């Protein structure tokens, strides 16, 4: 099986590091922030570290500056508590600094935003310009992702005199037009809104030097190809192009061929690999019983932060109501919700006010929320790639996570497709309360090698007990 980036990351680092800092590197990335050290560095105003401080900040600074990043940027990275570059950062940062085009095959959770943002910030701040001409454009498929990218630029660029703005639909145009008029160096945008702004002559692309297409596959899935082509026509041809996509279907290939110039290819998570940090489980269950099964599972305390996927917005709303009616704090996020409602739901989920976020695929794509303990596919996704994306929401950045998939009769074809593409058999949970009405596969239960038990609790149907259940490998 293909090693995912974190496994490689850990094994490489383990080789390189001394016993003293090995523990620090094998910590989950979710606990990577080191506020005390970060504060020390960011207030010191210098890369010098006092003799009384630990070696961590120095190690970190050296590793990032070895990639060619300057002090003002490595300090911002340290303040974020990053201890060493992730593999995609190691591979892309020097090439972007050298002005090369990049084709990055990577999902969110690999550190890809910093992989392009850090060298871009450096290139832009190194150039001498008057004022704040728009020099970098990042296109992203969703508002949430666009906002996150913008926030990353602000955080990583905190010591630099560059301005970043974000524009997306669903909110008023006027404030966005005003902020563009005031001058921004870096613009993060969703394609539709950018076209609206172009129609109003609110953006000037003449000085664009760097273009990023983030989550290109998703942008094309969402039907943005014509918008993107119209935007591309307005760009100066002499520019650096960075294209990131978790999957490389043929439509993306077309875009790659038309815009990238002799790109450096960087791949950190192959399309068909599902992260090994995710404990995957399959539940055969009838459609009618899915709601009861999810209550059983969520009843268990271990589901501290659960992201639940449905295929339709309508089903997301229904499930949100069902969970709340049964005493489980849940919020839904999908394209029909207002921007404010989506932000509120995300914030409540992030800070633990709601335990369950029910999401459609598009709304969830790119959401960067640490420590999601469980992903539940309440409905199987239509495409294998979507399955990989969904389960990648947990098990992020060195944390382990659980991904549960509920599969009814009609979804068996989808399951087979997922298993064919990912080349894995998802371990089947053979003991739960609703198995009796479930589809009959040709499965044969054997003990699961990882020896973990599912978090599912006692069934509402009452025909199983809490103890002794476990996923079995088919
Ligand atoms: P991304 O793949 O860009 O969505 O990043 C995923 C998460 O990894 C974000 O929370 C980043 O803050 C974090 N991250 C990025 N680079 C590093 C690094 N070198 N060390 C630790 N965490 C990182």
Last residue of a domain, one of 267, 292, 312: 267
Residues 159 and 218 both lie in one domain: yes
Residue nearest to atom 18 of ligand 1 (CA): 82
21 and 147 share a domain? yes
Q: Which domain covers residue 350, as residue numbers?
A: 278-468
Q: Does 285 lie in the same domain as 169?
A: no
Euclidean distance between CA atoms 79 and 47, whole angstroms = 12
Alpha carbon of residue 307 to chain centroid: 13
pLDDT digits (tens, 9 = 90+) for 126-155: 999 999 999 999 999 989 899 999 999 999
**What's the rounded Cα separation, in Å, for the pair 46 and 68?**
17
Ligand 1, atom 12: closest residue by C-alpha = 111
The answer to whether residues 249 and 290 belong to one domain is no
Residue 272 lies in a domain: no
Give the predicted TM-score (pTM) of the model: 0.58
pLDDT at 394: 76
Is residue 4 one of the residues assigned to a domain? no
Q: With a 6 A CB cut-off, is 108 part of the ligand 1 pocket?
A: yes
Return the structure tokens found at 465.
């007990």
Both structure tokens of 348: 């409540």
- The confidence score (pLDDT) of residue 30 equals 28
CATH label of the domain that carries residue 245: 3.40.50.300
Task: Point out the domain boundary residue: 267, 299, 328.
Answer: 267
Q: Which atom number of ligand 1 is nearest to the Cα of residue 85?
A: 19
Ligand 1 center–CA 60 separation, angstroms: 14
Strands 264-267 and 136-139: unpaired
Q: For ligand 1, say whether the CB of 109 is within 6 Å of any of its atoms.
A: yes
Count the domains in the chain: 2
pLDDT value at residue 191: 96
Tens-level pLDDT at each residue, the chain (474 residues): 333 333 333 333 333 333 232 222 222 222 223 222 222 222 222 222 232 333 444 556 789 999 999 999 999 999 888 888 988 999 999 999 999 999 998 877 788 999 999 999 999 999 999 999 999 999 999 898 999 999 999 999 999 999 999 999 999 999 999 999 999 999 999 999 999 999 999 999 999 999 999 999 888 878 899 999 999 999 999 999 999 998 788 888 989 999 999 999 998 854 345 556 788 999 999 999 999 999 999 987 678 899 999 988 899 999 999 999 999 999 998 877 777 788 888 889 988 999 999 988 766 665 667 678 899 999 999 888 788 878 877 765 555 689 999 999 999 999 998 888 887 889 999 888 888 655 555 443 433 333 222 333 333 333 333 333 344 435
| Ligand 1 near 34 CB (within 6 A) | no
Ligand 1 pocket member 160 (CB < 6 A): no
Residues 294 and 252 both lie in one domain = no
pLDDT at 72: 96
Do 231 and 291 belong together in one domain? no
CA 293 to chain CA centroid, Å, is 27
5 lines ligand 1 (CB under 6 A): no
Q: Hunting for tokens 């995609």 — which residue is that?
A: 88
Structural domain includes residue 5: no
- Are 255 and 169 found together in one domain? yes
For residue 148, give the ligand 1 atom closest to its CA: 4
Residues 425 and 295 in one domain: yes
Task: State which of 211, 246, 267 marks the end of a domain.
Answer: 267
Query: Within this chain, do residues 298 and 372 fall inside the same structural domain, yes or no?
Result: yes
The enclosing H or E element of 434 equals none
SS3 332: strand
* CA of residue 25 to ligand 1 center, whole Å: 14
The answer as to whether 474 is a domain residue is no
Whether residue 239 is found in the same domain as residue 326: no
Cα(23)–Cα(20) distance, integer angstroms: 7
Taking the centre of ligand 1 as the mean of its atom positions, its distance from the CA of residue 112, in whole angstroms, is: 7
Residue 473: inside a domain, yes or no?
A: no
Pair (232, 326) in one structural domain: no
- Name, in order, each residue with C-beta under 8 angstroms of 158's C-beta and a sequence gap of 6 or more: 76, 79
Q: Could you give the C-alpha distances from 147 to 152, 225, 333, 466, in angstroms and in order?
A: 9, 21, 15, 42
Q: Dihedrals φ, ψ of 267, to 5°?
A: -130, 125
In 3D space, the residue among 385, 449, 437 whose CA is nearest the CA of residue 406 turns out to be 437
- Residue 169 within any structural domain of the chain: yes
For residue 393, what pLDDT is reported?
A: 76
**Closest to 394 (Cα-Cα) out of 328, 309, 453, 294:** 309
Q: Tell me, using a 6 A CB cutoff, whether residue 407 lines ligand 1.
A: no
- Indicate whether 2 belongs to any domain: no
Is 354 contained in some domain? yes
In this structure, are 158 and 36 located in the same domain? yes
Pairwise CA distance, residues 185 & 133, whole Å = 5
Q: Which atom of ligand 1 is nearest to the CA of 368?
A: 4
């Amino acid at each position: 099986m293909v090693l995912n980036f974190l496994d490689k990351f850990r094994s490489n680092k383990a080789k390189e590091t001394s016993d003293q800092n090995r523990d620090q590197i094998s910590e989950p990335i979710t606990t990577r922030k080191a506020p005390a050290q970060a504060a020390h560095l960011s207030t010191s105003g210098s890369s010098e570290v006092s003799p009384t401080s630990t070696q961590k900040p120095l190690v970190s600074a050296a590793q990032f500056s070895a990639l060619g990043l300057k002090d003002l940027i490595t300090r911002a990275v340290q303040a974020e508590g990053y201890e060493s570059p992730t593999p995609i950062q190691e591979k892309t940062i020097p090439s972007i600094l050298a002005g090369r085009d990049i084709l990055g095959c990577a999902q969110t959770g690999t550190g890809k935003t910093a992989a392009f943002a850090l060298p871009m910030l450096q290139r832009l701040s190194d150039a001498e310009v008057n004022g704040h001409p728009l020099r970098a454009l990042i296109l992203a498929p969703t508002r949430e992702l666009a906002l996150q990218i913008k926030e990353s630029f602000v955080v990583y660029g905190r010591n630099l005199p560059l301005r970043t703005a974000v524009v997306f639909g669903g909110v008023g145009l006027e404030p966005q037009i005003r902020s563009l008029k005031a001058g921004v160096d870096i613009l993060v945008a969703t394609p539709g809104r950018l076209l609206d702004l172009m129609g109003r002559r609110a953006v000037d692309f003449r000085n664009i030097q760097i273009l990023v297409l983030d989550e290109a596959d998703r942008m094309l899935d969402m039907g943005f190809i014509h918008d993107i082509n119209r935007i591309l026509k307005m760009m100066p041809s002499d520019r650096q192009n960075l294209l990131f996509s978790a999957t490389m279907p043929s439509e993306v290939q077309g875009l790659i061929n038309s815009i990238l110039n002799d790109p450096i290819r960087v791949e950190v998570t192959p399309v068909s690999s599902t992260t090994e940090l995710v404990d995957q489980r399959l539940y055969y269950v009838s459609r009618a019983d899915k709601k009861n099964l999810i209550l059983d599972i969520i009843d268990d305390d271990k589901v501290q932060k659960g992201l639940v996927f449905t295929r339709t917005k309508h089903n997301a709303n229904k499930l949100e109501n069902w969970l709340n009616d049964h005493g489980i704090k849940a919020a839904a996020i999908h394209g029909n919700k207002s921007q404010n409602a989506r932000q509120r739901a995300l914030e409540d989920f992030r800070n633990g006010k709601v335990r369950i976020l029910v999401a459609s695929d598009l709304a969830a794509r790119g959401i960067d929320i640490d420590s999601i303990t469980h992903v539940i596919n309440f409905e199987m996704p239509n495409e294998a790639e979507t399955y990989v994306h969904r389960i990648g929401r947990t098990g992020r950045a060195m944390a382990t996570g659980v991904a549960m998939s509920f599969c009814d009769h009609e979804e068996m074809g989808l399951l087979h497709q997922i298993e064919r593409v990912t080349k894995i058999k998802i371990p089947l949970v053979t003991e739960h309360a609703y198995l009796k009405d479930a589809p009959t596969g040709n499965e044969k239960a054997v003990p699961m090698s990882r020896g973990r038990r599912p978090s599912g609790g006692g069934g509402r149907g009452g025909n199983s007990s809490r103890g002794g259940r476990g996923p079995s490998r088919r």
